[in-house]
A and B are shown apart, each in its own frame.
Chain A
Amino acid sequence: MTVFHFFNCAILTFGPHAVYYSATPLSEYDTLGTSVKAALVYLGTALVKLVCLATFLKVSETDNFDPYQELLKALIGFIDVAGLYFALTQLTHRNISQNHKFQAVGLGWAFADSVLHRLAPLWVGARGLEFTWDYLLQGLEANANLVLSISLAALGSLMWLRKNKPKTLIPIIYACAGIVATMPSITSCVKNSTCQYPYYSDIWPLQLFEAGIGMAISKGGRL
């Protein structure tokens, strides 16, 4: 029964990625290679971020909100953006259209993020007899993260791959990209200011909302 629960949480966490791949034309154009490469780039980015965080961040004993530390964390978050840039522009992809390229990269990115951050806690925790809501909330967070990654990749491809951009939308695109890139910092700010959330992953509606805005802008930009 508890393996049942683990199975449920696993399909909630990783199912949408598989569904996204098979439902959209990505499967027809065989873009699996691109996704795998994007996942590997994410792995490298995560390692670099880890090293930077360990080097530059101080471990604070108190739980107070330190603006400088948060600023530093946001800056390190831009390494994420750099990694995405690398995945979108520098990797050699087969002849797939831009439309599909950013989707495949975003998908690979989100899948690697889910596996690295959520698989181990799921395996260790969800199989026990004790029932908690944590793992289901984690799965919902993985879903939101998928939308976030794809919208970030979309904005990235708008910024770096499209040569002819409509002039009016350029500042909005860059602003949205900035917001979406620093999403983790924003969520921790909100968490600190409104301390009544018992589960930290209650932030996922907020994430979805922001990601949705980014997605809409990118869709509008492609039209």
Chain B
Amino acid sequence: MQATKSFEQAFLKHLLRGCRLSAVSYKSMSLQERKSAIKLSADVAMASARGGRKWTRGLITKLSKEDEHRSFLQLILGTEYGRLTKPCHGSWKIPRSKKIVRRSLRVCSRRKNNLRAPHGVKSSVLARTLVEKRTHALKRLVPGVESLDGYSLLDETLDYVISLRAQVDLMQKLLTTFEASKLGALSKCTLPERKASFVGK
């Protein structure tokens, strides 16, 4: 799945803004601090380019926990910061998800009761425990989904994974472009040619 053009533009715009902003105080920053600033910019860029999901709000909230991060975020995002941190009205999803969990537990227990062999009982309980364990692990990895279950959790996870992939692809693209220009390819070809090769990838 390829990132859309609008996502790409929004992402690169915010990432570059973050890079430029942190470059101002580069001289006084350690390499580790600079890397944190770049990574912060990349995460903010991803969340704002996607916008409007549980995980995007969760991520911005998580990144804003530290005061100095929050002011940096506000500089990158400007007026969008308020929109992205607004509490969402998705709480109605929770009762629906609980219904799924209850129904799947009922199905599991019905299956458990129908099976005579002890082996069958163990495997359904094991399957349920495994899914529960994975769900807990997922909730630690995907931001903002602590209150979700079932369908909503999977939906947010899918969206998050696709966005993460796009983030990686675009950062790689940016790196390649910077490296190419550093090697002096800049002087060799004209601007339209470089634009064509960048867009064509």
Same complex for A and B? Answer no
Report B's interface with A, CB cutoff 8 A.
none
